Each structure stands twice: as structure tokens, then as C-alpha cells.
Structure 1
Amino acid sequence: MASDVRRLPGPFSFGAGKADTHGVERVVLMVTHHLASATRLADIVHLVEEDHRVQVAYTVPPSSRYANGAHDYLRDAGLWEMPWSQAVELPWDLVVSAGDGMLERLHGPIMTLTHGIGPNGYVDRRDSPGPAAPRAIPGFGQQALTMYGRVISSAIMLGHEDHLPMLAAACPEALPASVVAGDPCFDRILASRGRRTAYRNALGASPDQQVVVVSSHHGSESLMSRHPELLTTITRELPSDRYRVVLAMHPNIWSAHGKSQIRAWFSASIEAGAVLLPPEEGWRAALVAADLLFADHSSVVCYGAALGLPTLLAPFAAEDVLPGSVFARLTEMAPALDPKSAVADQLDEALRAWSPANAATLRAQLTSVPGGAAREFRRVMYRLLGLAEPRTEPLTRPVLPPRPLEPLYR
């Protein structure tokens, strides 16, 4: 984990004139609360970091229990992490975050985006002696969006026009800062479809095998928490000559328990032929490569179903589902698993019951700017920076091939 005492030089301090050898005109801070937010920022950072007028730095606020995952990601990726104590003392031309928490301490125009598909459920209700209260939509409540009598963000990036009335109901003061800009994550998934064969090869899937992605969110209601036995037995239940099982666990699971422990828990599955993906990337390529999806209440299952994957849902708590959300619509289309019945039979039934029209319906509800998120995000980023946009068209790059983890004990 990065120390909070080693201050960074460069175009961030009074000595910037001596340290800067490139003539930087603007400085941008990427705020990574946890690993999931860090990977989402990776979808858009290229829109500014390739500009020779711009310098990008990263920081991790001490507001998330999963902050260790962000520190590890920045270190391993070779990204320039600034101590939080230094970041809050400096002026920034643009601050970008895919999470909330402590952003009001930073100085500069702030742009926020979700680290999932957007409003999909509610914040968890904590155990405490006090009476129950209504649960907010993550990232949409007054507590997340306002502080000291002001809206924290200058630009709140939304994926769909349907999110506007939700924001207006939860925090009407934030509505003037909202921008319907689409979903850069889903755009990259769509841009990757031409690489399906390469992704399947990277996963070790033969032409005769069906790739089944098995995904778990994090928390007490997740598949891994409620039905861990399914994650470890599904490889044995599905014949290896017909199926290639790919396991994709939410990054916060890895941050909470450690990479070595997760690999140990799934070591028997890997040795039996399953593929375990690392937390940083790989799940999107796996969705493109897949034929079937088995997942719980999460963004992953919504992305996969919108891509066109026949889907089997893990058991979920109905009270956690936001009415009118993409996941709520998916529950009307996809069957839910019966833990007491054979998984293979239920996957076959999910395949037979799936209609291509389902994907079109979900996709229309997921983004209002299909394929255009890079354009919209860059436009807003450069408006806040006060710079003219580059003349070249912004790129939406395909995701990298998956890199399955090796067995821990080999």
C-alpha cells in the first residue's frame, strides 16, 4: 500500500516549473475509491491522458473499506499515485471519480460516473439499534451528492435518460449538473464482439464447448455468500466435454479476502477445468466469448444479458431490486436457479427460454447513447478543463483478451 507521506513532485507543486519538462497546461486527478472504480476510470482516462497538454495523477481517498484494492491496482499498473493528504491541498483543473466519498475535500471541478450500470438497487441497510429508514439509491442520495449547501459535482454522468427522473426525485438540486452520456463500459463490450474467437481461445474453450460465465457480486446477499457450494460444485456438475466454466468474482471480494485466499478457495475448481479470472479485467472479454451466463443481482448480469447471453439468475432478494431498473426488467425474462435441482438442466432451460428480443429490450434501457459514450465524455471533460478538444475522433477500444489465473499450487 502506498505511503501517505511521500509527496509527489512534478506539475503539482510550487516547484512545477523546474520539474515539468513537457509544458503541461492542465492537471487532472483520477480518484479511485476501490478497485472497481479504478477499472471503470480506465475506460475513459485515455480521453485526456493522451493529450500532451494534460498531466494525469491518481489518488485513493481513505473512505472505502476496499481501498487496498485501489492501491494495489495503481501500483501494479505503474500509475502515478499521489498521497491523499497532498491531493486535498492542491488545485486541480479536473477531478474525475467513479465513486463517492470525501470528494468535497478536493479543489476543482468534479465529474462523477457510476462504476456499474447505474441505478439498480439500494444501499445496504446496516444492523443497528435505531429504527429502519428508507434506503437510498447508491450515488443518487443527498448524502452522496451534496455537502455544505452545494452539489459536489459539476458534471454527473448518467447512462440513460430514464435516470434523470430518479435523480430528480432523490436530489433535485443535482439535476442541473446531470449529463446523459451513455455507458463507456458497455460500449467497449460491444466494440469487442469481433474478437470473440480470440477470447474463447484465451479461455481454452474448444469449438465444441459452451462457455458458461459464473459471476458473483460481493456482500451478504451475493451468490458467493449465500450459495458458495454452487461456485465450487458447478464445474463437477457440468460435463467438461460440453462446457467451459469461467468464474468471475467481484473485485471487492478479492480486496476483502486477498488474491491468494480466493485462488485457494477455487483451486479444486481450477484443477477440475474451470477458469478463474483476475479481478482487474477479463470478465468483459469472457461475456463476449460466452454462450451462457449464471449470475446474481449485479451489473455483470445486466451487461451480459444486454449483450445477448441466455441468462440464469442466482436467487436474489426482491426487496433489493430497484423497480424499473435494468435488473428488474431482466427478472421478468430470465429464470431463477433452483439450488435443489441440477444446474445443467436449468442452464439448458434458460437457453431454450431466451429470446433475442430480450437483449434488444435491455440494451435500449441500458444506454441512451449507444456507441457514443467516448464522444460525450470527452466533450464534457474538455469543457470543464477549458481546453479545445483534439481534432481526432475519440476511440472506443476493445477490451484486452482474458488472462486466466494459474492454479495456486502448481
Structure 2
Amino acid sequence: MTALRVFEGRQQQPLREWLTLTGRKRVLVVVHTVPYGKRLQEVFCLLESDLRVQVVFTAPPHPFSDGVARLIERLGGAVLPWEVAVRMEFDLALAAGPRGVEQIRAPLIMLPHGANFLKRVTEGAVTRVAGLGRQDLTPGGRGLPAAVVLPHRDDLAGLAYSCPEALPVATVVGDPVHDRMVASLPRRGAYRRALGLGKGEKLIAVVSTWGSRSSFGAIEALLPRLLELVRRNRKVAVLVHPNVWSGHGAWQVRAWLAQCVRRGIAVVPPEADWRSVLIAADTIIGDHGSVTLYGTLTGVPILLAASPEQEINPASPAAALARTAPALSPAHSLASQLTYVAAEYHRHHREEYGAIAARITSEPGRFSRNMRRLLYGLLGLGQPAHPAPTRPLPLPPPLASWSAASGERYGYGPDTGTGVSA
């Protein structure tokens, strides 16, 4: 990891003799967790090629911070230790979570780290929508951020209810994951080939958010049913939220899923880009998390393994999906239920899923344009004289490579003696 050297004086500044380009606008990217970092990557990449701006990174303490250092290292980012970053001043800061940001000395842009504001949390006798409350936007008594980024104009109503004083700094910008997935849908065939899917093979994506009411929270019941799915013409990929990996440890998650790996089921690592896998899927088994909601963009059937009403924001598209998608039944085989949901999707649900997907953003295809305008406005700089791009997603590695990596690191891999195609 690269570190900017600093003076030890009261006013911390980069040591100029160690820098080649000086006098730049300085943007601090606050990376609490891997999901937050991935979301912020869609923002700070809009500063690419601008020689007027220096981007630096910091990682505040967080219970789910596993993998953050590796993520920043892969980016090649210049890193400031948290205790140094909070003593310095910046021209702008970006964050997708509230922990510790009251210590940051910079105009702050607060972004959601997932699709819309899907979840609600209960603290004592109070239930609130995660991401829109005063605790999220003015943590530790900090003043209002310079900007609160919203994906949909409907989110303004939720903000007006939970933190109305933030409305003047709220900006409806859009959703970067939505835009990149939509831009990538025409490449579905290329993603399937890159993943190693042959003609006629079906891919089932099993996705889970984190928490006791998630799909993974019921893994004891779901695991044997996943093994039932493995056939020569069918492949399965499991995408588990990075907070599960961080909370339980990568070794433990892979150990719990070892039998899946031996049978040729791909366990997608937390650092991987799940979006191309979702686009390549023929069916999605999911829950109330963001990834399942983004699955409505792909035009494939969705089966809900979990959709806890008490954790879902009733005004969100996740609630609409919970009312629309079929729910997994313990009384019937998983294979038969997948056949049923495919038939129901083509008969009834295609248009309903499209309407739900349309609620992810009210600025479809315009996130990059809107976000870049916001960034440069707060930096006090003119925008570059070229369009802000929305790039298709890169090709993923083969599914088999993830199973092989598990075997090399943890001593198990696909069971070649089962006759099951990996």
C-alpha cells in the first residue's frame, strides 16, 4: 500500500518534497467496508485523468472492514491512516456509511451503499429506514453533509419524514449499478462464455444479503437443496454478502460451503464483481438484499428464499418484489419450484418485474453525468470537456476458477470423482 508522508505538526499536510504534482484539489475516499468501497469506486472513477485532482483513501475502524486493505491495494490507492486523515483538511470527502465521518474535515458527500433504501432497522422502540435517518446523515452531531445523494426522486419523501433538514442538500443523482448493468445486458452471451457456460447450460445464481433473516441465515435448510440442483446441464453460483465473509471469516464461510465446492458449485469470493454473474444467470434465488433487487434488471425469474417483512422498508421496491416474486416452499423440491417460477414469470411477472426495476432509479443512464456535475460543483472546478462514460462491465473469470482457488487455499475443491461438471 502506498502512503502519503505527512508532517507531525498540528496542521497535517502532505510533505511536498515527496510529491511531483503539487497544488491539487484533494479528495478523500472513506472506505469502511468492501461494499462501500465498490460503490465509491463508481464515483471517484469520474475524476479519472483530471490532473487537477489528487484522490487519497482512508479506512476507518468498522466491524466489517475485512478485505478493505486488499481492495485499496488492488486499486493502487495512496492511503492515509485513519488517525492521520482525521487531522488533515480536504477539499472534498466521499463516504457511503456514517461511522466516524463526523471527524472528517471536508465538505462531505454521503451516498447509499446499495440499491435505494431497502432495509429498516429497529433500535429500542424506534424503527427507521437505514440510510435516511439523522443517525446516518449527521452522525456524532456533525453538521449536514454538503450533499446527500439519492437514487430516486421518491426517496425525497422518505428523507422528508426521517431527516427533513437534509432536504436542501439532497440531490437525486441515480444509481451506478443500475446503469452499468443495463449498459452490459447486451453482452450477456459474452459473460456466459467467460464464465464457462456451454450451449444449453443453465446458471442459477443464489444470492444472500447479511443478517440472521437473510438467505444465508437459513443456510442449514438451503444447503442440501442447492446440492439437489447440481446436474450436467446446470451450474450454480453462490454470492454471499461481504459482511458475512467479514463477520464469520473467509475460512469459516468456505468451510461451511465446502461440500458445495466439492460438488462443483461456484462460491463467488467477496472481492469479485457479482454483477456480470447476475447478468449471466437464468434464474435467481435471493432475499431482501440489494443484489436480488438488481436481479429484476436481468429479465429472469426470481425465487425468494427469504423476505422478512420486519426488515424491509415498506415504501421500497424490495417490498414490491416481496409481494410479487414466488416464495421458496419447504414442501416441494427446489427443482420443481424453479420450473414453476420460470413458467409464472413468462406468464405473469415479466412486466411486474420491469415496473419494480424502474423504481431503482428515476435517472436511468444518467448517474455518471449527474454525479460528475455534483463532484465538480463542490470542488469549484469546471468539468472535463468530454462526456462522463458509463462503461460495460468487464468479463468475469471462469466459475471453475473460483472453485479451484478455494481448493488451493483451503485444501478442498471440486470432487472430480463425482462425475459432476464443474
What amino acid sits opposite 1:369 in the alignment? E
CA separation of 1:161 and 1:77: change in aligned 2, threshold 3 A: same
Q: How does 1:50-199 map to 2 (within 5 A)?
A: 50-62=49-61, 64-123=62-121, 125=123, 132-147=124-139, 151-199=143-191
Q: Distance in 2 between matches of 1:155 and 1:103?
A: 14
Paired-residue identity, %: 36
Q: Distance in 1 between matches of 2:45 and 2:75?
A: 14
Deviation of 1:207 (Å): 1.7
TM-score by length of 1: 0.92
Deviation of 1:139 (Å): 1.4
CA separation of 1:339 and 1:198: change in aligned 2, threshold 3 A: same
Question: Which deviations, in whole Å up to 9, do the C-alpha atoms of 1:341-378 show, x marking residues without a partner?
Answer: 21111111111111321232012211010010000000
Secondary structure at the aligned position of 1:135 is classed as: strand
Deviation of 1:21 (Å): 0.9
8 Å CA contact 1:333, 1:358 repeated in 2? yes
Q: Which residue of 2 aligns with 1:25?
A: 24
CA separation of 1:148 and 1:120: change in aligned 2, threshold 3 A: closer
Q: Distance in 1 between matches of 2:37 and 2:25?
A: 21
Q: Which residue of 1 aligns with 2:227?
A: 236
What amino acid sits opposite 1:146 in the alignment? T
What amino acid sits opposite 1:364 in the alignment? A
- The size of the alignment, in residue pairs, is 398
Q: Distance in 1 between matches of 2:43 and 2:177?
A: 9
**Which moves more between the two structures, 400-409 or 284-293?**
400-409
Task: Flag structure 1 segments of 5+ consecutive residues without an equivalent.
Answer: 126-131
CA separation of 1:136 and 1:227: change in aligned 2, threshold 3 A: same
Cα root mean square deviation, aligned? 2.1
8 Å CA contact 1:24, 1:55 repeated in 2? no
8 Å CA contact 1:9, 1:15 repeated in 2? yes
Q: Which residue of 1 aligns with 2:391?
A: 397
CA separation of 1:15 and 1:203: change in aligned 2, threshold 3 A: closer
Deviation of 1:96 (Å): 0.4
Question: Which deviations, in whole Å up to 9, do the C-alpha atoms of 1:200-219 show, x marking residues without a partner?
Answer: 12322212111110011111
Deviation of 1:225 (Å): 1.5
Secondary structure at the aligned position of 2:42 is classed as: coil
Deviation of 1:235 (Å): 3.9
Q: Distance in 1 between matches of 2:37 and 2:135?
A: 22
8 Å CA contact 2:296, 2:354 repeated in 1? no
Corresponding position: 1:333 with 2:324: yes
Q: Which residue of 2 aligns with 1:323?
A: 314
Q: Distance in 2 between matches of 1:316 and 1:359?
A: 16
CA separation of 1:331 and 1:148: change in aligned 2, threshold 3 A: closer
Corresponding position: 1:9 with 2:1: no
Deviation of 1:147 (Å): 5.0
What amino acid sits opposite 1:248 in the alignment? L
Q: Distance in 2 between matches of 1:145 and 1:33?
A: 15
CA separation of 1:374 and 1:10: change in aligned 2, threshold 3 A: farther
Deviation of 1:227 (Å): 3.3
Q: Which residue of 1 aligns with 2:296?
A: 305
Deviation of 1:313 (Å): 0.4
Question: Which deviations, in whole Å up to 9, do the C-alpha atoms of 1:297-355 show, x marking residues without a partner?
Answer: 10011000233221000133212221121111112221110123211111111111113
Q: Which residue of 1 aligns with 2:41?
A: 42
Q: Which residue of 2 aligns with 1:366?
A: 360
Task: Flag structure 2 segments of 5+ consecutive residues without an equivalent.
Answer: 414-422
Q: How does 1:165-314 map to 2 (within 5 A)?
A: 165-230=157-222, 232-314=223-305
